[in-house]
């Protein structure tokens, strides 16, 4: 892939993962990267998607835009999460076909895997059961895009590939406690509890589920590598291959944040999927991707970024207006 000669459209390119993908593309020589803003293009509507392709004229489409959230957000918005993610993806892939896009890279989700998938999750297990109930509408909407990519490849010869990124974390993540995922939520809770001198921290569930996490820099590199070098019909996991329990994760983040109080588990809250860990061998074999960032190193970088952003916000709040 000669990025310097390609016009690339990255949906979600102004978001958490997307911003790192755009930077990775630029680092590899891309000069013409189009990032649609949701205020300008409503990708849940056909007119919005049609106007995007009219304006962007992409050679390569990387679809990262999604309506996402943690367990609570998924429970509160199952209909919207299904509709928005399905409509965006289905229409984008169809318009990519109509415009003869050279390559389409579609980001799925590991929420598409069955609730009781054997660990480690292999791509072949994707259809062996129903997803975990709290995020099934989101997971099924995204999994439908895999079927579309494969069907379009079969009927139209479209070069569309489908990736399954594991839970991401890193700088620029969403730290809003109402919609964030587990790592940014825990970082914020621990730092705020420490600052207020609290002796307890309340955590969701019983701590037994396990998760796998991928640092956002690594994820961006993997997506661009797939765009460059993977042309297969089969889905590909993107992950680190490391499994950690929510209990161990919470204790690790508390330690790195300097919170020394007691962690109280709210066992009446849902745990979500019991275990998550990916088989990442296909990504390595297909396009040479392996995660490079040690987990605690990534957590330290994320904590440092959030601390700096909070300090910057406070400095701005207390800034004396010019001429006062």
SS3 111: helix
pTM of structure: 0.93
Residue with tokens 């895997």: 113
- Domain membership of residue 287 (yes or no) is yes
- Domain membership of residue 308 (yes or no) is no
- Domain membership of residue 304 (yes or no) is no
- Domain membership of residue 125 (yes or no) is yes
Strand pairing category for 200-204 and 262-266? parallel
Query: Residue 168 corresponds to which tokens in the numbers above?
Result: 């991401």
**pLDDT for 243:** 96
Q: Tell me the pLDDT of the chain (324 aa) as tens digits.
A: 899 999 999 999 999 999 999 999 999 999 999 999 999 999 999 999 999 999 999 999 999 999 887 777 778 889 999 999 999 999 999 999 999 999 999 999 999 999 999 999 999 999 999 999 988 999 999 999 999 999 999 999 999 999 999 999 999 999 998 878 899 999 999 999 999 999 999 998 999 999 999 999 999 999 999 999 999 999 999 999 999 999 999 999 999 999 999 999 999 988 888 889 999 999 999 999 999 999 999 999 999 999 999 988 877 765 545 554
Number of compact structural domains in the chain: 1
- Domain membership of residue 50 (yes or no) is yes
For 194, half-sphere exposure in the C-beta direction (CA atoms, 13 angstrom radius) is 15
| Active site (annotated) includes residue 215 | no
SS3 161: strand
For 152, half-sphere exposure in the C-beta direction (CA atoms, 13 angstrom radius) is 25
Question: Between vectors from CA 303 to CA 178 and to CA 189, what angle results, nearest 5°?
Answer: 40
- Domain membership of residue 74 (yes or no) is yes
How many CB atoms sit inside 10 A of residue 176's CB? 12
CATH number at residue 92: 3.40.50.720
Q: 154 is in which domain, residue-wise?
A: 3-170+212-242+275-293
**pLDDT for 98:** 98
For the stretch 53-92, what's the b/e string if a residue is b when 16 or more beta carbons lie within 10 angstroms of its beta carbon?
beebebbbbbbbbbbbbbbbbbeebbeebbebbbbbbebb
- Domain membership of residue 9 (yes or no) is yes
Give me Rg for the CA atoms of the chain: 20
- Domain membership of residue 299 (yes or no) is no
**pLDDT for 324:** 46
- Annotated active-site residue in 138, 152, 169, 215: 138
């Amino acid at each position: 892939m000669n990025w310097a000669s390609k016009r690339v459209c990255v949906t979600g390119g102004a978001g958490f993962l997307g911003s790192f993908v755009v930077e990775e593309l630029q680092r590899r020589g891309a000069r013409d990267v189009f990032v649609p803003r949701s205020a300008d293009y409503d990708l849940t509507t056909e007119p919005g998607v049609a106007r995007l392709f009219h304006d962007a004229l992409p050679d390569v489409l990387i679809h990262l835009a999604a309506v996402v959230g943690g367990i609570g957000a998924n429970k509160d918005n199952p209909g919207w999460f299904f509709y928005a993610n399905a409509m965006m993806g289905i229409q984008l892939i169809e318009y990519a076909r109509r415009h003869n896009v050279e390559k389409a890279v579609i980001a799925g989700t590991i929420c598409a895997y069955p609730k009781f998938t054997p660990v480690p999750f292999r791509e072949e297990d994707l259809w062996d059961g129903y997803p975990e109930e709290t995020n099934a509408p989101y997971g099924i909407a995204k999994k439908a895009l895999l079927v579309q990519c494969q069907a379009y490849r079969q009927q139209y010869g479209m070069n569309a590939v489908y990736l399954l990124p594991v839970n991401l974390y890193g700088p620029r993540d969403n730290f809003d406690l109402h919609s964030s995922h587990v790592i940014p939520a825990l970082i914020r809770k621990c730092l705020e509890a420490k600052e207020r001198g609290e002796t307890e921290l309340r955590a969701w569930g019983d701590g037994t589920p396990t998760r796998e996490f991928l640092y956002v820099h690594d994820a961006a590199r993997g997506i661009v590598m797939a765009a460059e070098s993977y042309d297969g019909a089969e889905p590909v996991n993107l992950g680190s291959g490391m499994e950690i329990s929510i209990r161990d994760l919470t204790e690790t983040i508390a330690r790195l944040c300097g919170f020394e109080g007691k962690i109280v588990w709210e066992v009446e809250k849902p745990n979500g999927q019991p275990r998550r860990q990916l088989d990442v061998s296909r990504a390595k074999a297909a396009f040479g991707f392996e995660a490079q960032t040690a987990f605690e190193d990534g957590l330290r970088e994320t904590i440092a970024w959030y601390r700096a952003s909070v300090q910057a916000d406070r400095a701005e709040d207390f800034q004396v207006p010019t001429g006062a």
